[in-house]
Amino acid sequence: MAESERYEVKAGGSWKQLNPLAMLRYFTGMKGPSGFGASSTARDVVAGGKWEGKGKVAIVTGPYSGIGLAAARELAGRGCEVVLAGRTNAERGKDWVSREIGGEGKLVHQMELDLSSLESVKGFARDFKKTGKDLNILVNNAGIMALPEFRRSKDGHELQWATNHLGHFLLTHLLLDKMKETSRKKGAPQGRIVNVSSSAHYMSYKPKGILDEEELSDPSVYKPWSAYGQAKLSNVLHARELNCRLKEGAKGDDVIAVAVHPGVIVTKLQRHLKVPVLMQSVGKVAVTPFLKSIDQGAATTVYCATAPSIKGGGFYADCNEQGSAPESKRRDLGKKLWAISEKYAKAFY
């Protein structure tokens, strides 16, 4: 495949690579073209955009904490029926859902999903289809970050890549026909697939070649942040390649896919990081100006799920389309990732 083949996306690098205007917007809270900015919350987005969720159905993975929980809460709060797709336990019962989100039994439903197991993903998709529900929005949010030691998923793949990307790749594939069917109903809105990525997608492994299949799950080369970057790059490339394939289809505007960077926030995603107490204190002072609240972190996800018009294949941060790392614009890498992912997931189609 020609390395020169590129996705038609916004020029420039991500704001993490010191885009001056994007950085200015971030620190000042200046609103971008969308009317929202770094200081906007998920509630601002649904209220300001006058989005109405009644009659719509969304699936949110990783819905029990952080931005997944905030996104699910705001979607349900506007009347959208939300399926919480994650690993449940005794503490996450009806009382928890009613307290944290509201609407359990009417608008909010729990379904078991373990993204590190492709068999679990297949089972979830099968069980969801059995409900007969429509599907307007799929938020691929669940993820893990910078595991200190190499670990494998239940199917033998490096755990970050398996959970953050491969499980979502299969889930999206298995639910895509349902999303297309829903979007083609009279008066139905455009279907939205939102991959929660990160500006850290530029940190992927590079020595053997980006997204080298042998390196994907090789414990001898494992580096926590490179593996995380590789998984987040996969999220962006998956959204872009999927969007291209949808666009090239018979009715390409029925469903679109995008990737988002939620911002720098403190959630359970960082639970694996080992930082000395003194550095935690110093770091808190130094890092606080860069941090968003969880509700601010969920804003871009909710914006991309609900805004009247967004660009398919785009990379969004602070509720506006942003530039992204050069590797994320290469369609040869998107096709390469697709082929590898399909190779591992096809047995579960």
* Residues identified as active-site: 222
CA distance 36 to 56: 23
Contact 261, 199 (CB under 8 A): yes
CA distance 228 to 62: 17
CA distance 312 to 315: 9
Contact 331, 8 (CB under 8 A): no
DSSP 230-271: HHHHHHHHHHHHHHHHHHTSTTTTSEEEEEEE--SB-SGGGT
Q: What six digits make up the tokens of 304?
A: 């991309």
Contact 312, 259 (CB under 8 A): no
CA 170, 172, 173, 175 dihedral sign is positive
CA distance 283 to 269: 17
CA 67, 115, 197, 244 dihedral sign is negative
- Name residue, tokens 């509700």: 295
Residue type, 163: T
